[in-house]
Amino acid sequence: MRYQAVERGRFLTRPNRFIAHVEVDGHTEVCHVKNTGRCRELLLPGVPVYLEPSANPARKTKYDLIAVEKGNLLINMDAQAPNKVFGEWAAGGNFLPGLTLIRPEFTWEDSRFDFLLEDERGKIFVEVKGVTLEEDGEVRFPDAPTERGVKHLHGLRRAAEQGHRAAVFFVVQMKGVTRFRPNDVTHPAFGAALREAAENGVGVYAYDCLVTPDSLTIDAPVPILL
């Protein structure tokens, strides 16, 4: 996926989870943050960030904050990007060859999954999660408690137990990491649900991404430690 007319700025403050103050060309802009997670280790005063101008001239915030530099890493932190890049990647035959259907936002029982895919073998339910939390080469999810995420995993597990194919796909929104694991310190219930899902037939995948200020592309698998 690609962004348009991306500009570089310097992060100043984040008054709330929806907006950030960013210095752009010597003046302060109020920007929309496209990630409601904590991102405390990313959005530090003075760090370089990347902004995409809004296509809506009537909007109160002129820019969307989409990426941030963390040392030598460039991290995409657009929470809408993982689903978009997974859809593009899957459409190219990279997840399952011979797909006949890619349908976003599919409801099954009381769960709403990000994708319903189909091939000659039938249906597969897929939930996509974006990963931005990194420390010493290890990436973890989530960066804040997510009861919604736990519910998704329980739904995938039930689907697998009933004979459906099911998978959770972690899009690591950076390159140059060594491994992925669930963030048991921040949300033990998510880690427990992920391991339980894997033990009951849910596929668990983690892939890193090639990241530039104006693009994001799924690249290669990352070792998973459960």
Same domain, 51 and 90: no
Which pLDDT value is given to residue 40?
A: 86
Which pLDDT value is given to residue 193?
A: 98
- Given a contact cutoff of 8 angstroms between Cβ atoms, the answer to whether 206 and 220 are in contact is no
Q: What is the CATH number of the domain that holds 113?
A: 3.40.1350.60
Same domain, 178 and 210: yes
**Entry pTM:** 0.95
Q: What is the mean pLDDT of residues 2-25?
A: 95
Measured distance CA(197)–CA(204) in Å, rounded = 9
Measured distance CA(144)–CA(11) in Å, rounded = 21
**40, 75, 110 - which closes a domain:** 75
Residue 2 lies in a domain: no
Same domain, 46 and 118: no
Residue 200 lies in a domain: yes
Q: What is the mean pLDDT of residues 153-158?
A: 97
Same domain, 92 and 193: yes
Give tens-digit pLDDT for 105-127.
999 988 899 999 999 999 999 99
Residue 1 lies in a domain: no
Give tens-digit pLDDT for 194-203.
999 999 999 9
Same domain, 137 and 204: yes
Cα 78 to Cα 75, 89, 128: the distances in Å are: 9, 17, 14
pLDDT higher than threshold 90 for residue 49: yes
Give tens-digit pLDDT for 73-112.
999 999 999 999 999 999 999 999 999 999 999 999 888 9
Which pLDDT value is given to residue 57?
A: 82
Same domain, 12 and 67: yes
pLDDT higher than threshold 90 for residue 55: no
Same domain, 51 and 108: no
Least reliable range by pLDDT among 110-114, 131-135, 171-175: 110-114
Provide the domain limits for residue 190. 81-221
Q: How many domains does the chain have?
A: 2
Q: What is the CATH number of the domain that holds 39?
A: 2.40.50.580
Q: What is the mean pLDDT of residues 118-138?
A: 96
Same domain, 107 and 193: yes
Which pLDDT value is given to residue 81?
A: 97
Here the tokens at position 85 are 């890049």
Same domain, 34 and 110: no
Which pLDDT value is given to residue 36?
A: 83
Which pLDDT value is given to residue 38?
A: 82
Same domain, 87 and 59: no
Give the list of residues 6+ apart from residue 118 with CB closer than 8 angstroms, or none. Answer: 99, 100, 101, 124
Which residues share a beta bridge with 161? none
Which pLDDT value is given to residue 37?
A: 82
